[in-house]
Amino acid sequence: MNTPAASPRPSPRPSSRPSRRPEWAGRNYLLLTAATIVTNLGTHGALIATTWAVFDSGGDAGDVGLVAMARFLPLVLFLLIGGAVADRVPRHRVMVAANALNCVSQAAFAVLVLSGEARIWQMMVLTALCGTGQAFFNPAAEGMLMSTVSGEQASRAFAVFRMAMHGAAIGGAALGGALVAFVGPGWVLAIDALAFAVAGGLRAFLDVRSVAERAPGGGLFADLREGWQEFVGRPWLWSIVAQFSVVVGLIGAVESVYGPLVARDELGGSRPWGVALAAYGAGTVAGAVLMTRWKPRRMLFVGTLCVFPIALPSAALAVPLDAAGLTAAMFVSGVAIEVFGVSWMTTMHQEIPEEKLSRVSAYDWFGSTALLPLSTALAGPAESAFGRSEALWGAAALMVVVTALVLLVPDVRNLTRRLHTKEVAGGLDGAPGPGAGVPGASAPGIPAPGASTPDASASGASADAEGALRGNG
C-alpha cells in the first residue's frame, strides 16, 4: 500500500519579538566580556591573596615589593614582542595560550602556599610567569576587542565592556579579601587558576572564521619596526602615551606609598583608604555608565580634559582632607578616567588599521607603564627630601602640567568622531565585513597600511584601580 509523500514542513515564521540583545553585542563580544568578568573576579582577589601569602611565609613589606616587581618586569620586557606576535598569529590563540600559562602558574602558586612550603624566590618565579602571560595577553586582547565591535556603536560597546570589567574587579577584591580571611590565601589563588581555565575555555570559542588572514611579514623585528613607525608617525599618539607614562607613574607612587601612609598617620587607619579605593572603583563604573549614553564629538579633547581631575586624590592627600573629602576626590577621579578610557579606546578603534592594533597597543602599554618601577622606588626618597605634603603637591602639579602640554598638540584638540568608522573584520557575529579577505582593503576614512593622514592614530591608555590604569583581564 502506497502512502502519500509527506508534505514539506512549513518553515517557522521569523519571530516578531525584538531581540533583547543590542545589535553591537555579538557572540564574540559577549564571550570576551564574560571571560573578562571571570578573570577579573579571580585576579583581583589573587592580588590580595599574594600579599598575605608573602606575609604568611615570613616575608615583610620588602618581600611583597620583590614579588610584585617579579610580575611587573616580564610584563614590560615582553610587551612589544607580545604585540608583534598577536599581529602575526590569530589573536584568540595567543589569548588562550596566555590564559593557560596563567592558570598553570597560579595553580602551582596555590599548591605551594597550601603546602606551607612556599619560599619567596618560588613566589617570584611563578609570579614572573604570570606577568609573562599578561605581556602576551594584553595586546592580543585589546586588538581582539577592537576588531569585535562595529564602528558606530564602538563607544557604547567599550563603555559596557569596561563597566563589566571594573564591576568584576570591585567584586573580586571584596570577595578575595573575605575569602583570604576565612579560607586562607592558597584557596583564593586556586580559584584564580580556575578562573583562568574557564576564561581560556570561553575565548577558545571565539568565531574568527571571517577574519581575513594577515599576509606574512618580514619577520618579528620587521613587524616591531613597522609598529614603531605607526606609533611615532602620529604626534598625538606618542604625546599622550608620554603623558600617561608620567601620570601612571605618579599614580602608582600615590596609591602604593603615600595613600596608605596618610591614612595610617592622619585618617585613623587603613579603613578610610580602603573606602576611598572602593569609591574610585565605583567612580569608574559610574563613568562607564555615563559613556554608554554620551558620545562627545571631539572625543580625544574631552577625554584629555578629564585627565585633570586625576590630580585630585594627590591634592586631597597633600592637605590632607578628611575621609569624606578623600572619598569624594577618588570617586570624581574614577569617573573622569573612565571618560578618558572609553574615548581613547574609541579613538584607537577609529584610527588604527586593524592589522596593526596589537603592535600599537603594545607600544602604548610599554610607554604607559615604563616609569612605574622608578616612580614607586623614588617615592620614599622624595618624601625624605621634600616632605610628604610637598611630594604630593608636586605629583598633582606635574600631572596638571603634562596634561596641559598635551593639549598643545593640534590633533588632540581637533580630531573628531566620524559617523562611519571601520567595519568589524568578520562582523559582530561572524558575517564578513567590507573588505574581508581583500589584501590592503580598508574601511572608508581608514588609511591602508603605509598611508598617512593628518589625524590618524591612537592607542589606549585606559585605567584600573591598581594604578596601572589598564587591563582587559
Which of 25-53 are b and which e, b meaning 16 or more Cβ less than 10 Å from the residue's Cβ? bbebbebbbebbbbbbbbbbbbbbbbbbb
Residue 307 per-residue DSSP state: T
29-33, 269-273, 276-280, 316-320, range with greatest mean pLDDT: 316-320
Say whether pLDDT at 439 is over 50. Answer: no
Q: CA-to-CA distance for 165 and 469, rounded, in angstroms?
A: 12
Q: CA-to-CA distance for 33 and 428, rounded, in angstroms?
A: 14
Rg (CA), the chain: 23
Enumerate the H helices of 205-269 as residue ranges. Answer: 220-232, 235-253, 259-266
pLDDT interval class at 438 (50, 70, 90): very low
| pLDDT given for residue 23 in this prediction | 67
| pLDDT given for residue 218 in this prediction | 60
What mean pLDDT is predicted for residues 317-324? Answer: 91
What mean pLDDT is predicted for residues 53-82? Answer: 77
| pLDDT given for residue 366 in this prediction | 81
Q: Which amino acid is at 80?
A: L
Contacts of 389 (CB under 8 A, 6+ apart): 318, 319, 320
Say whether pLDDT at 162 is over 70. Answer: yes
pLDDT interval class at 432 (50, 70, 90): very low
1-5, 50-54, 340-344, 404-408, range with greatest mean pLDDT: 404-408
Residue 408 per-residue DSSP state: T
Nearest Cα neighbor of 393 from 308, 310, 307, 315 is 315
Say whether pLDDT at 414 is over 50. Answer: yes
Q: Which of 1-15, 174-188, 449-463 has the lowest mean pLDDT?
A: 449-463
| pLDDT given for residue 212 in this prediction | 56
pTM (two decimals): 0.67
| pLDDT given for residue 330 in this prediction | 92
What's the distance, Cα to Cα, between the start and end of the chain in Å? 66
What mean pLDDT is predicted for residues 17-43? Answer: 79
| pLDDT given for residue 415 in this prediction | 86
pLDDT interval class at 428 (50, 70, 90): very low
| pLDDT given for residue 152 in this prediction | 64
Q: CA-to-CA distance for 407 and 419, rounded, in angstroms?
A: 24
Q: CA-to-CA distance for 197 and 152, rounded, in angstroms?
A: 33
Q: Are 88 and 161 in contact (CB under 8 A)?
A: no
Nearest Cα neighbor of 473 from 84, 214, 161, 7 is 161
Identify whether 444 is preceded by a cis peptide bond (ω within 30 of 0).
Answer: no
What mean pLDDT is predicted for residues 272-277? Answer: 79
Say whether pLDDT at 311 is over 90. Answer: yes
Specify the higher pLDDT residue, 318 or 10: 318
| pLDDT given for residue 171 in this prediction | 81
How many residues are listed for the chain in this entry? 473
383-399 pLDDT, tens per residue?
Answer: 888 998 999 999 999 99
101-136 pLDDT, tens per residue?
Answer: 999 999 999 999 999 888 888 888 998 898 888 888
